[in-house]
């Protein structure tokens, strides 16, 4: 007979569930967890703020398609993690948040880091939140939390762990850990619905597949490719499903927003197979700019509440995307599929025209001071243009194109900021799923460095590159220290336009160019800040320096920061589309 602590029992349950890494920031309330993680070789990536630790757990979960774990201490540790919990909730990312809390016996004593009901706060932004009050129940409740987080419509769960429960002890022979923790049993579609779907698709003249986050989480790349090869139906994807279908495939149309390029009525989709798509922000809400009202929708979604939310659905299928594709592939093989080459050419042409329009933006190169709202700034940029008249700043499209041209297919790209990531959306191309992680429904600026840390821990052999606005990177600057301490060679590209550009442009459009207020940033030297933490760092002021700088950053094998002088004037096409939506 051996006695073990609640913390030890919890960590043994995590080990049984296959957890190898966790992200957190210490507090006395978590001490047993930290000690037992060390005993069991669960690596804790100790970070500089809980908000980034939460985002790192999200980045880990999203890039590895698995459970992420974040450990945050009682009170302020928990409250700092709220943005991440909300982000994971809206994007359905499976993260287990383990939050310390005051000892149960200290209830209502005005004790340290207590007095707030963490479970009540977490409940509306988790799939399940619960306080564990008895040591013997730890394995059962941890297993329950993990099952909820990782199955069905996934999402975050929170366990509130009172300090006296974690430090109390139990005979290890009594504390049984469940044999089965995660469930792998994705729901299959109904046979009649598959028949209806196949009939609609086979009779369509302009069918498309829209692949959403559900298609990514159900790991449907192979089945999707088989379906497209058998039927010739072109594919669009949202950001979470980016790379699920190769970006360079002749039947790939682009991200959902590119559907807006199919402007002529007779060139728009008539049947849509929406795989794991949640209609809303990324399909332009109620607007018909992307999916016309008369298009017949076959909507495959694991959560029935998503079906019919914004669009009438011809064939509802409440099931897993991969299981549905499997059934569609069986049915598709018995059918002669119509010739779709005209429709495929329309989509390819739309893609080419979009690309040409963007390329034209770079000729001639715009100058700082000529662009909308840039205006003369009171101080010259440090190390640049001092007393030499206006400096040339780099067009954001030129910058992101150069960045993408310098990385290989295997690189995981994180998009943060606002306009920065909208520009990135225009050029990102990938052949592997889970390799582009960017904003979801919460739109939480500042989450990029945390996400990048999680992705790099999940994929130590792959390169991770984070593109962030200067506003965004400021949220978690101290995480450059985490990169250095944990030897995570993430390359960060700061799109330094000395502005919260999306906010500034919004003001210019809505309130007028003379009413820009509270949205400019100063002359911060992000490369110097990162260098002070021990990163490889370089300031880039000329487009010709950018590619060599990226290559040098990658070759350094160290965490790196490139601070790139970006022209604030250009507005990304996606923002124009969002601003003009009906
Ligand atoms: C946490 C958070 N605070 C504020 C906002 C509102 N907001 C949306 S876009 C934006 C500007 C982002 O600026 P920056 O990170 O510099 O990126 P840029 O637009 O310049 O590429 C802000 C402040 C937000 N979405 N999230």
- 572 alpha carbon – ligand 1 mean position (Å): 14
Distances (CA, A) of 476 to 278, 347, 420, 481: 30, 40, 17, 10
pLDDT at 364: 61
Phi, psi torsion values for 484, nearest 5 degrees:
-70, -50
In this chain, the answer to whether the domains covering 3-171 and 362-579 adopt an identical fold is: yes
Three-class DSSP category at 581: coil
Regarding the domain with residue range 191-352, which homologous superfamily does it belong to in the CATH classification? TPP-binding domain (3.40.50.1220)
Residues whose CB is less than 8 angstroms from the CB of residue 547 and which lie 6 or more positions away in sequence, other chains included = 402, 405, 406
Upstream peptide bond of 364 is cis (omega within 30 degrees of 0)? yes
- Average pLDDT on 478-489 reads 98
- 237 alpha carbon – ligand 1 mean position (Å): 24
pLDDT at 542: 95
pLDDT at 264: 77
pTM for this one? 0.95
Range list of H helices, 259-418: 321-332, 341-360, 396-405
pLDDT at 422: 95
Average pLDDT, the chain: 93
- Whether the per-residue pLDDT at 366 is higher than 90: the answer is no
Atom of ligand 1 nearest to the CA of 506: 9
Atom of ligand 1 nearest to the CA of 445: 26
- Whether the per-residue pLDDT at 382 is higher than 50: the answer is no
- 332 alpha carbon – ligand 1 mean position (Å): 45
Q: In angstroms, rounded to a whole number, what is the distance separating the alpha carbons of residues 21 and 98?
A: 13
Residues whose CB is less than 8 angstroms from the CB of residue 382 and which lie 6 or more positions away in sequence, other chains included = 523, 525
Name the residue of 372, 403, 418 whose CB sits within 8 Å of the most ligand 1 atoms, as the mutation to test its pocket: 418
- 112 alpha carbon – ligand 1 mean position (Å): 34
Topology of domain 3-171 in CATH is Rossmann fold (3.40.50)
Could you tell me the two tokens for 56?
Answer: 């790192």
pLDDT at 576: 81
Nearest CA to ligand 1 atom 13: 500
- 243 alpha carbon – ligand 1 mean position (Å): 26
Name the residue of 502, 505, 519, 578 whose CB sits within 8 Å of the most ligand 1 atoms, as the mutation to test its pocket: 502
- Average pLDDT on 330-337 reads 93
- Whether the per-residue pLDDT at 305 is higher than 60: the answer is yes
Comparing 178-187, 376-385, 486-495, which segment has the lowest mean pLDDT? 376-385
Atom of ligand 1 nearest to the CA of 396: 21
pLDDT tier at 371, thresholds 50, 70, 90 = very low
143: left (phi over 0), alpha (psi -120 to 50) or beta: alpha
- Whether the per-residue pLDDT at 376 is higher than 60: the answer is no
- Average pLDDT on 491-519 reads 96
pLDDT at 581: 57
pLDDT tier at 386, thresholds 50, 70, 90 = very low
Q: What is the percent of the chain where pLDDT is above 90?
A: 89
Which has the higher per-residue pLDDT, 374 or 515? 515
| Neighbouring-strand partners of residue 394 | 566
Nearest CA to ligand 1 atom 3: 445
pLDDT at 582: 44
- 472 alpha carbon – ligand 1 mean position (Å): 6
pLDDT in tens, 432-469: 999 999 999 999 999 999 999 999 999 999 999 999 99
Name the residue of 471, 492, 510, 516 whose CB sits within 8 Å of the most ligand 1 atoms, as the mutation to test its pocket: 471
- Average pLDDT on 488-516 reads 96
Q: In angstroms, rounded to a whole number, what is the distance separating the alpha carbons of residues 398 and 566?
A: 10
Atom of ligand 1 nearest to the CA of 497: 20
Domain 362-579 listed as CATH 3.30.10.20: no
Q: In angstroms, rounded to a whole number, what is the distance separating the alpha carbons of residues 141 and 348?
A: 51
- Whether the per-residue pLDDT at 370 is higher than 70: the answer is no
- Whether the per-residue pLDDT at 377 is higher than 60: the answer is no
Query: Which residues are the active-site residues?
Result: 29, 50, 113, 443
Domain range annotation of the chain: 3-171, 191-352, 362-579
What residues line ligand 1, using a CB cutoff of 6 Å?
417-420, 443-446, 469-472, 495, 497, 499-503
pLDDT at 373: 40
Q: In angstroms, rounded to a whole number, what is the distance separating the alpha carbons of residues 327 and 572?
A: 40
Atom of ligand 1 nearest to the CA of 83: 1
Q: In angstroms, rounded to a whole number, what is the distance separating the alpha carbons of residues 33 and 46?
A: 13
pLDDT at 573: 86
């Amino acid at each position: 007979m051996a006695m073990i602590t609640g913390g030890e029992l919890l960590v043994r349950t995590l080990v049984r569930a296959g957890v190898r890494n966790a992200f957190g920031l210490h507090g006395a309330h978590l001490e047993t967890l930290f000690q037992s993680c060390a005993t069991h070789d669960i690596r804790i990536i100790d970070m500089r703020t809980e908000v980034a630790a939460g985002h790192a757990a999200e980045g880990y979960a999203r890039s590895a398609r698995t459970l992420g774990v974040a450990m945050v201490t009682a009170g302020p540790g928990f409250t700092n993690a709220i943005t991440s919990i909300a982000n994971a909730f809206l994007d359905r990312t499976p993260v287990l948040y383990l939050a310390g809390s005051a000892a149960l016996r200290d209830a209502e004593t005005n004790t340290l880091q207590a007095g707030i009901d963490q479970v009540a706060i977490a409940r509306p932004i988790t799939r399940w939140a619960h306080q564990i009050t008895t040591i013997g129940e730890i394995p059962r409740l941890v297993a329950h939390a993990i099952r909820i987080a990782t199955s069905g419509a996934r999402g975050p769960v929170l366990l509130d762990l009172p300090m006296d429960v974690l430090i109390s002890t139990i005979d290890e022979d009594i504390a049984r850990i469940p044999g089965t923790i995660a469930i792998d049993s994705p729901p299959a579609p109904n046979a009649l619905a598959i028949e209806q779907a196949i009939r609609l698709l086979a009779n369509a003249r302009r069918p498309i597949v829209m692949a959403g986050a559900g298609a990514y989480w159900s790991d449907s790349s192979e089945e999707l490719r088989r379906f497209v090869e058998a039927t010739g139906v072109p594919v669009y994807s949202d950001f979470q499903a980016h790379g699920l279908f190769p970006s360079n495939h002749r039947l790939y149309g682009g991200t959902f927003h590119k559907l807006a390029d199919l402007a002529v009525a007779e060139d728009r989709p008539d049947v849509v197979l929406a795989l794991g798509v949640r209609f809303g922000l990324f399909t332009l809400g109620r607007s018909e700019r992307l999916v016309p009202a008369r298009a017949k929708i076959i909507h495959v979604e694991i959560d029935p509440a998503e079906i019919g939310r914004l669009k009438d659905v011809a064939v509802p299928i409440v099931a897993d995307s991969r299981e549905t594709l499997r059934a569609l592939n069986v049915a598709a093989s018995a059918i002669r599929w119509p010739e779709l080459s005209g429709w495929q050419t329309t989509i390819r042409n739309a893609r080419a025209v979009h690309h040409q329009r963007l390329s034209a933006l770079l000729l001639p190169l715009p100058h700082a001071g000529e662009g909308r709202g840039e205006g003369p700034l009171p101080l010259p940029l440090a190390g640049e243009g001092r007393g030499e008249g206006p400096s040339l700043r780099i067009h954001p499209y030129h910058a992101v194109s150069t960045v993408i041209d310098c990385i290989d297919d295997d690189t995981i790209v994180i998009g943060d900021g606002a306009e920065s990531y909208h520009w990135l959306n225009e050029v990102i191309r990938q052949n592997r799923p889970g390799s582009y992680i960017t904003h979801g429904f919460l739109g939480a600026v500042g989450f990029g460095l945390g996400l990048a840390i999680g992705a790099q821990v999940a994929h130590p052999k792959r390169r991770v590159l984070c593109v962030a606005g200067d506003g965004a990177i400021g949220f978690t600057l101290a995480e450059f220290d985490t990169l250095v301490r944990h030897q995570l060679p993430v390359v960060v590209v700061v799109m330094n336009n000395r502005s919260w550009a999306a906010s500034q442009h919004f003001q210019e459009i809505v309130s007028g160019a003379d009413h820009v207020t509270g949205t400019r940033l100063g002359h911060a030297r992000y490369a110097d800040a990162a260098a002070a933490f021990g990163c490889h760092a370089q300031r880039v002021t000329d487009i010709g320096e950018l590619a060599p700088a990226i290559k040098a950053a990658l070759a350094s094998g160290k965490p790196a920061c490139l601070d790139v002088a970006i022209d604030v004037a250009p507005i990304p096409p996606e923002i124009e589309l969002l601003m003009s939506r009906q």
